[in-house]
Amino acid sequence: VEKILSDKLLTGVKVLVTAGPTREYIDPVRFITNKSSGKMGFALAQAFRDLGAEVYLVSGPVSIKPPFGITYIPVETTEEMANKVEGLFEQVHIVVMAAAVADFRPKVTYQQKLPKENSTSIDFVKTKDILKSLGQRKGRKFLVGFAAQTHDLENYARQKLIEKNLDLIAANDVSRSDVGFDSEENELLVFTRDGRKIFFSRESKKIVAQKLAQLIGEMYLNKQN
């Protein structure tokens, strides 16, 4: 049995995956969020687990069940996700930010429910860019981001790869209804730090996740040698 276990690609490797949306509260019962279902991140966590990795899954609120055999850390807000991710960062080898992190939060979160009469407009401020801040203290870790785009996929993805100091970025066309956010299937255009461009054609998120996890695992191991 030990022989079989140690034959797995990522035995002894720790992987942190984020998934789902984050929520930013206006008051105790109202918040803004996005369409992320968490499916891609959960499928990735499962794929890394199947490659023998020790997996930590930090996820915003989703309606699906976490895979067995991983450490599941549910969060709600971007700030909570940032705290959990930063807390785990030093002890992992690979980070994959598949979460659709809210970009803005209300400037003020009211402690009591706002009567509709006095809620006319909301001021927003930017949230922390979790991935970018990890990129700034990256060390020897392997950092992976996603790029959610409705247009100009390639340009924006390449820009984010550099800006956030990533090793790999997987770009998602979120303007389509057959792939990306809240879909059963996905199609990815992957760009690597070493200049490669790899297309993963439309398949179930499970299959796309297995292929992506394999690629990330191989690139991570190559980088160590």
Whichever of 79 and 103 has its CB closer to Ca ion, that residue is 103
**Among 34, 20, 30, 13, CA closest to 65:** 20
138 is in an annotated binding site: no
- Contact flag: residue 130 with ligand CTP (CB under 6 A): yes
164 is in an annotated binding site: yes
Whichever of 103 and 203 has its CB closer to Ca ion, that residue is 103
Contact mark string toward Ca ion, 77..96, x via CB under 5 A:
--------------------
CB of 29 to ligand CTP, least distance (A): 24
- Contact flag: residue 39 with ligand CTP (CB under 6 A): no
Q: Using CB under 6 A, which residues numbered 72 to 91 contact ligand CTP? A: 78
Say which entry of ligand CTP, Ca ion, none residue 44 contacts (CB below 5 to 8 A, set by partner kind): none
- Contact flag: residue 127 with ligand CTP (CB under 6 A): yes
Q: Which residues contact 195 (CB under 8 A, 6 or more apart)?
A: none
What is the 3-state secondary structure of the chain?
CHHHHHCCCCCCCEEEEEECECCEEEECCEEECCCCCCHHHHHHHHHHHHCCCEEEEEECCCCCCCCCCCEEEECCCHHHHHHHHHHHHCCCCEEEECCECCCEEECCCCCCCCCHHHCCCCCEEECCCHHHHHHCCCCCCEEEEEEEECCCHHHHHHHHHHHCCCCEEEEEECCCCCCCCCCCEEEEEEEECCCCEEEEEEEEHHHHHHHHHHHHHHHHHHHHC
Q: Using CB under 5 A, which residues numbered 125 to 144 contact Ca ion? A: none
CB of 100 to ligand CTP, least distance (A): 7
**Whether residue 34 lies in the annotated active site:** yes
Work out which of 160, 190, 209, 215 binds ligand CTP, going by CB under 6 A: 160
Which chain residues interact with Ca ion by CB under 5 A? 103
Residues taking part in catalysis: 34
Contact positions vs ligand CTP (CB under 6 A)? 78, 97, 99, 101, 103, 127-131, 145-148, 160
Output the known binding site. Answer: 103, 113, 146, 160, 164
